[in-house]
A and B are shown apart, each in its own frame.
Chain A
């Protein structure tokens, strides 16, 4: 048997390499799909060329990234796949439950990753290796080492990698950013985030057979094996350290992204100390704490960030979650920080003075921050520019979030060197920088 006749079993059927390549060739022959190699100058489409996109993970937020002309869709849940396919109105998308089929296709320029969090880093790295540009949903990664691997892959393969923390494309957040960065609060020494508790359950999630439409083994992928129960899967994966890591890593990625932006801390390379405490979840199978109080201390300039869960909304501008920035001259409230965001009238009324700090907002026709964020990604593929939530900013922000979870798990304050990406004087903490993957998955 020649190597071309070797068979691989995917999609519940046996496919030979020859058949697979034949099928791919037929797909490429569809006129509306233009291989990126034809368009590209150094792998980049021209200004008016269509960027061929595909989506990996199309339940939850992932479904909103499906464009009407998406070339391919991937999800381990056949129901998600069928629902998302209905959003594609131009052409017939290639459907698969295994993302590696999408990465194999040479005609696809960019992928939108909307899977559960434990897949983000692995899929991003593999997509970069396959030459795809990547828009990956927040949170950036599950561990500090994973986030570093994502940045390294993006740079090594010269790919655009945007993290889906779309607060960076939100006009309201930009107004707040301009207000703070132009010194209207004076020296900011304290930022306080408030947020509701993590979800709770009274279900212990006894092992159950996965439904026929779901490939549970592929859903878990690189994560440690866990028996299936619906409470561990869609949406609720957020309440497990292995998958989501709680709100501090989920919405926290949004909230801390805005803080890092306003405080100009995206490139901070000093030392951060972090101490997080919380109440363990004890009424059901979730394992992230119900409540969390976290405190980060930054140096030079010295300022403190706190995350209170539950926190007390600022009565000046109450909202489900948000932050107050306290300077020596004034304070400012910013509500939310994802697609939804609002700030106070004084920031709206502020005009950047000549020579002041003007914050970039990607110009688009749409008023929707999420679409603006996607457009920024696609335009950066054309221009080769770094996107507004470049993966290295995503790494920086998620590091702050991960420090809180690590401190909570260790039960002690930790000190982290942002330049060396190592804990200082705590080898036990350094052992939590990464987590091993379940075989055969590897970065």
Chain B
């Protein structure tokens, strides 16, 4: 199973074009230097796991990719578009890049179905019937079609996070970003979310995942990135990364977390 997956991943990673390119990117919060000279290239269909201690800038990095945070220096090119202050580009990028948050961030005043159809109807200009159909397809994929008419507050954390994943997928994005998707969940629920993410990975979606779930990283990642204090300290394939880490800092981190 693992071996087959890895081969499929290698094939997809090798064959496809660059979809995200980050060159010498720097970001400051006030005078605090969060991200330092980040260089990163992501190919279409590639799955990248970002890990590191808290405060290392990993969340900030992926939030820069869909322009939730502004970077101050360097370039971020997503799907051929250079991120900057141009508003029109921003809207385009955001419809192409889906994001799943640690705290789900579902809209509590709308039913699950409304949460899912909102984006397609308002930004993809889909008809309501089509949007509902798409939404139900994705709800089935995350295995909770029966919850469509409930409100987020009535669902468990794991279910909410799966809805959040479905909500992003309804926009038919080219890239999916995950910002610690399982950190706010009970252990029992982590698995159901990870299963959905593994299935998503099998479909060839480009994914960047910030997570501490190392087992998950080993299963799906093409590349694992370790960040510390705003630097990308180490970047390598999962086998290499876990079995033979190079940097002292990585070794220390892995010894604490595994």
Do A and B belong to a common assembly? no
